[in-house]
A and B are shown apart, each in its own frame.
Chain A
């Protein structure tokens, strides 16, 4: 009994200790972003007090960089790309699971290639193509690339879920004269948890990507939040208040959103990843 208690204590010590190591940097940045320059350096570990409280960093941020616009760009790109990844992925996954046809296995493998091979390695070809099509510095370019990046895993996961559905239901609908499209619409709600899983897995790398915004859409008009933050942080390296404010503003909404949806997200990640 004592041994059991002791091992539980050790486990808690390890997990709690590491959790502190995770929270410390995030809290440190957040708390210091509300302090004046003096206090940031003199007493970095203390939370802001009425005397040291300052919003100068956030003020600089609002004057210099267009963060609302960057945020909207990120949101547009992520939402549209996720919709396409889930919807096109569901159609393709349904077809691969439902129909026996000659190219079925080949198409399955062809689409699965993209799970293992990073799309970044085609950047030289992508940039030339986007330049030729006048899509450089458009959000469309990012949406198309991210859709192509997310589709392989989406098709792979969704086809497995569609394959698990019992056939009776679909056959009954077909006997009643439903078209194949109608059958698809009818079974789509049945895989709703899987659709959520795919959306959750695909979202994080798209929202956080630096590479493609930097290369395909670096203009002021099309900057995403990550690229905007990266450029701002580089330029204002010596204005600690502004840098801390920028980091907080970019991190905190994501962390809050994550805490609210963590249950669904983590469940989705583990469910999808196992397959």
Chain B
């Protein structure tokens, strides 16, 4: 038998993708992590400080206060997506999966905002909720909230801005988990559901006892995608509230905090080393979520299914 020639084709096929991916994704990530271990010393020299920047971020009040504020806000942002967006998406998907007439139109419409930039969505809602325009006011009057300061300027009050922006983000993105749930529901064999119907089970029971358990893997995927997306979000807050994530940093999340730290704001110059440190912490948060999902959720699901 002839000896196999050297597999050049492997290099040709895999080389370009691996090269681009390594150079522009992996290498910058590693370089950024390495960069977070240094600080600028005298005369612009790079001085190795170990985990010093991380300690500073978590303990120096100048850094830790805005950091914990952004983290806390991001948790709220995420929890609103988990408790409003994903159940709503599941409800829509369950209704659409019943082969309701016009399902195609509904799902096309509900998905529409997801194809638009968060910048445009954010600005459109900013106009609609603006007290200058006041389209909102007749509804408020009817609800008896006509003089309520918070309701008049939902995006201008510390107590309401973050929740309002979270709900705008939910409004924009609910179509994505809806599609994922719907795709999973459609794949369930029809016979299973028909058999239950013959036995006289109600739609409610069929959903919770047959359909929902079968789409649990998708529930996990949706949760982890929401988590990654939320802890990496930036565009909506930056577009509507600016880099300062006002009012008074009440809508600041990790993404906007990272941006400000890296590029500076007002009189404070940017600090690339601290920026890289914030990115390092964000990476840690996201990786913890992914690991929790892979080992805590997916593995257990597999045990149940097989």
Contacts and interface: CB of A to CB of B under 8 A. Distances in A.
Contact of A120 (B91, B117, B124, B234): B234
Nearest to B107: A266
A118 B117 CA distance: 18
B187 A122 contact: no
A144 B133 contact: no
A155 interface: yes
B115 A22 contact: no
B24 A126 contact: yes
Contact of A274 (B96, B109, B118, B187): B187
Nearest to B91: A14
Contacts of A44: 133, 135
8 contacts: A7-B203, A12-B101, A15-B96, A28-B124, A123-B28, A147-B24, A207-B117, A270-B180
Interface stretch (B8-16, B79-87, B152-160, B298-306): B8-16
B232 A41 contact: no
A5 interface: no
B21 A111 contact: yes
B32 interface: yes
Grouping DSSP codes into helix (H, G, I), strand (E, B) and loop, the A interface class, with mixed when no group exceeds half, is: helix
Given A22-B110, A121-B32, A208 B116 contact: yes
B13 A210 contact: no
B126 to A, nearest CB: 9
Grouping DSSP codes into helix (H, G, I), strand (E, B) and loop, the B interface class, with mixed when no group exceeds half, is: helix
A210 B235 contact: yes
Given A117-B286, A259-B108, A84 B25 contact: no
Interface stretch (B60-68, B244-252, B271-279): B271-279
Contacts of B108: 259, 262, 266
Interface stretch (A164-172, A190-198, A243-251): A243-251
A22 B112 contact: yes
A207 B238 CA distance: 17
Contacts of B133: 40-41, 44, 240
B27 interface: yes
B228 interface: yes
A94 interface: yes
A23 B255 CA distance: 29
Contacts of A209: 117, 235
A18 B110 contact: yes
A148 B124 contact: no
B124 A29 contact: yes
Nearest to B204: A7
Task: Count chain B CB atoms within 10 A of each CB in A40, A89, A147 and give the residue with the most.
Answer: A147
A273 B176 CA distance: 10
